[in-house]
Amino acid sequence: MNIHYKLWIEENDEVLFGEGRMALLKAVEENGSLAGAARALSMSYRAAWGRIKASEQRLGFSLVERSDKGRRAVKLTDKALKIMQRYQALDEKAQAFAKQYKSEWRRELSRLRK
C-alpha cells in the first residue's frame, strides 16, 4: 500500500509553484538554457517559457535571468533558488506525513477487513 499526493502552491486559484515548475527550474539549472531545459523535459520552448513567465507574474519576481555564458544562456535567480528550497522542504514534510500515516492506514484497513 502507498499513499500518493500532489503538492502545489496556489494563490487566487492560480498555480504559483509546484512539481512541474520545480522540474522545469531544475532542468534550467542543469542545462543552462530554457531551450535545453525544454528539450530535457520533452516540452516545447514556448510551453516552458509560458510557465516560467506565468509563475514570475504571479509570484511578483523573476525566476530566471540572462547568464554571461552565452547568447541564450540563463541562470536561476536567488529568489528562484530560495523558492525551490522552500518547496523541497514542504515536500519533504508532506512525504514524512504520508509515510507516518501509511502504517496507520494499513492497521485500520486490516481491522475493517476482518
pLDDT in 10s for each residue of the chain, 114 residues: 788 889 999 999 999 999 999 999 999 999 999 999 999 999 999 999 999 999 999 999 999 998 777 777 899 999 999 999 999 999 999 999 998 888 888 888 889 998
Instruction: Determine the 3-state secondary structure of 98 from DSSP.
Output: helix
| Distance between CA atoms of residues 55 and 58, nearest Å | 5
Say whether 41 sits in a helix, a strand or coil.
coil
Helix (H) or strand (E) holding 76: strand 74-76
Residue 78 CA: distances (Å) to CA of 21, 34, 104: 16, 17, 40
Residue 2 belongs to some domain of the structure? no
The closest of 75, 71, 54, 53 to 11, measured between CA atoms, is 54
- Tell me the pTM: 0.85
Give the number of C-alpha atoms closer than 13 A to the C-alpha of residue 17, restricted to the C-beta side: 21
Q: Which domain holds residue 19?
A: 8-112
CATH code for the domain in which residue 54 is found: 1.10.10.10
Is residue 93 assigned to a domain? yes
> How many domains does the chain divide into?
1
Q: Is residue 56 part of a domain?
A: yes
Do the domain assignments include residue 85?
yes
Beta bridge partners of 8: 18
